Amino acid sequence: MTEQFERLQKVIAQSGVTSRRKAEVLITEGKVTVNGEVVKTLGTKVKPSDKIEVEGIPLENPNKLYILFHKPTKVITSVSDDKGRTVVTDFFPQLKERIFPVGRLDYETSGLLILTNDGEFANHMTHPRYKMKKKYVAKLKGFLLREQVKELEKGIMLEDGKTAPAIVKVKTQDREKNTTLVEITISEGRNRQVRRMFAHFGHEVVKLSRIEYGNLTLKSLNAGDARELSPHEVKQLRQMAQYKG
């Protein structure tokens, strides 16, 4: 991956430490180092892998991007597709940084997906050890029975092992259409896990959407829309994954 060069004062300002004007003053005063060397020249170009310190304090994640995206259905959670189908990064044509999805949602699943260029962050979010909570709303064929809810809450045996306890809340059941609307929160991220958990009881999932990820919700974001996460949201996610970056 080729690295994008940016002007030093811009990188400092974007990290949220101070304004661009003040960053320029700090640079000319000799208070900024790049890879251990004092840099006093305004406009010096730096790349993401450079270690920048302002008054001896390292910049937190310069040039790191964290995006909350409402993935529509019929979009592949990938950066490319050999069959030419729409992929999640097609929604960000203006972006210079190379971002990639954190975990995945199925082609037919919509909902909350994080995209980032921070590989270490992505690894932590998806590592099973950190048990990030993900809430889904699912529309099922058939009636989900009380005993089935209890079993899901305890954990059920799938072909790749027993699932961790889930939180399950039945929202509505439509007798005429013979469907159940249910919210399920899981802390694992196995392939097609929610669909397989309901299939275990013979319930086909006809609609699935992820509505929460850790501290994040979709709020008023429509399918296909995205926004950047605030530094506070990123910090909270890191804390939830017991990860200080």
The residues annotated as belonging to the active site are: 106
**Residue 22, interface with ligand URA (CB under 6 A)?**
no
**Residue 105, interface with ligand URA (CB under 6 A)?**
yes
Distance CA 133, CA 81 (A): 28
| Interface stretch with ligand URA, choices 18-26, 120-128, 191-199, 222-230 (CB under 6 A) | 191-199
CB of 198 to ligand URA, least distance (A): 9
Q: Which of 31, 34, 37, 38 is nearest to 7 (CA)?
A: 34
**Which residues have a Cβ under 8 Å from the Cβ of 12 and sit 6 or more positions away?**
18, 20, 23, 26, 27, 32, 52, 54, 59, 62
**Residue 15, interface with ligand URA (CB under 6 A)?**
no
Question: Among 193, 209, 214, 241, which residue sits at the site for ligand URA (rule: CB under 6 A)?
Answer: 193
Contact pattern from residue 216 through residue 245 relative to ligand URA, giving x for each residue in contact according to CB under 6 A and a dash for the rest: ------------------------------
**Residue 11, interface with ligand URA (CB under 6 A)?**
no
Q: Which of 23, 21, 18, 19 is nearest to 8 (CA)?
A: 23
**Residue 207, interface with ligand URA (CB under 6 A)?**
no
**For ligand URA, the closer CB: 120 or 160:** 160
| Interface stretch with ligand URA, choices 88-96, 188-196, 217-225, 234-242 (CB under 6 A) | 188-196
Residue 56's Cβ-count burial label (10 Å; 0-12, 13-18, 19+) is: exposed
**Residue 139, interface with ligand URA (CB under 6 A)?**
no
CB of 223 to ligand URA, least distance (A): 14
**Which residues have a Cβ under 8 Å from the Cβ of 185 and sit 6 or more positions away?**
133, 134, 135, 136, 166, 167, 168, 212
**Residue 141, interface with ligand URA (CB under 6 A)?**
no
Residues interacting with ligand URA, by CB under 6 A? 105-106, 109, 192-195, 208
